[in-house]
Structure 1
């Protein structure tokens, strides 16, 4: 389940979705936790240690969330409330499940809820995705790393150019296209790092 928990509530504009625990309805569906009458405890962990837990019980048209929370080291407070569900048809058949955000005045149809004191949608918490907080150089480095992974190269543009060996079984045209895209992203990433930290790039790091 979701990332690390913060226990913070309604702190606008500064946090990302990774800063809050989360419940994904698609995961609940895959685990069979939307079947009426099913009840299960879900835990979050960091570094192998449990950081939080919640009990989810499914009823017709809704799930019941049951957990404890505390704010800024205060007393533990019990919370137990329903989150209503909705469905929409899929284009290829079947249906897609959604939470209806339980925050007062919201009711948005969402796939993921984030908690703090209550579980609500990212719009209510005004959470950004981590990629939206990235500097341009960081974003380019992340895209370059995705390509390096596809090509079987060591991660990190700061490791410098690889020998440019084509992976076995990959078409030459595909390899050339990915290498060209990697070089463009790597150039942007290194330029961004140089500007951010105020240094000149050594020649061996220029693609």
Structure 2
């Protein structure tokens, strides 16, 4: 992460983003069959293959109980255990979709994802922006160029130059994607040059 064209800049007074917090996604838990009542499971977050945080979850008919320890800065560890209520909506093609009801005092907003601070709460309660909301126009161009690089199987990073046509891809498709990529790269480099007062 980081470096020119990485798409991440920090500004004075900017909001934290959803990527800055650990999260739990009720859709993932449903997909993994973890919302069946009367069971317990652990949920972990890893970085570089090492577990950096975990919680215990107990499921009930209309809620889950989250249990974990946390601390801020150099403070003592604090035990937390509280319910997060669930709401279910009917899908158009059958079945039901689960939602968390944000447990923060005075909220109760229906959301798919909760973010962990002292308690798990919705992004509105923590005033979190999505990473894309923090992007400048040239960051956005670099991200779009990198998305095309991924499609083409090229090395990530707009400064790494163009690669070859992937095997099996039509030449017309390859030429169109390469032209789009190159246009996004030009936009991104122009923004970087402008930011650092360089001529481009």
Partner of 1:142: 143
1:167 Cα deviation from its structure 2 partner: 2.4
Q: Which runs of 5+ in 2 are unaligned?
A: 1-12
Shift of 1:141: 0.7
Task: Tell me the residue number matched to 1:166.
Answer: 165
Asked whether the 8 Å contact 1:20–1:115 carries over to 2, the reply is: yes
Q: Are residue 79 (structure 1) and residue 87 (structure 2) matched?
A: no
Q: Partner residue of 2:8? A: none
Of stretches 62-71 and 168-177 in structure 1, the one that deviates more from structure 2 is 168-177
2:132 is the counterpart of 1:131: yes
TM-score after normalising by structure 2 = 0.87
Which consecutive residues of structure 1, in runs of 5 or more, have no partner in the other structure? 1-11, 202-207
Q: Which residue of 2 aligns with 1:68?
A: 69
Corresponding residue for residue 195 of structure 2: 196
Name the counterpart of 2:4.
none
TM normalised by structure 1 equals 0.84
RMSD of Structure 2 on Structure 1 (CA): 1.7
8 Å contact 2:71–2:77 — kept in the other structure? yes
Moved more, 82-91 or 153-162: 153-162
Q: Give distance in 2, aligned partners of 1:42 and 1:141.
A: 34
The aligned residue for residue 108 of structure 1 is 109
Identify which range, 58-67 or 27-36, moves more after superposition. Answer: 27-36
Higher RCO (C-alpha 8 Å, min separation 6): 2
**Residues of 1 paired with 2:165 and 2:48: CA distance?**
36
CA distance in 2, matches of 1:79, 1:190: 48
**Which sits farther off after the overlay, 168-177 or 132-141?**
168-177
Offset, 1:173: 3.2
Structure 1 residue runs of 4 or more that deviate by more than 4 Å after TM superposition: none
- CA deviation string 1:142-176 (max 9, x = no partner): 110110111122222112344xx432322333223
Deviates more, 1:189-198 or 1:168-177: 168-177
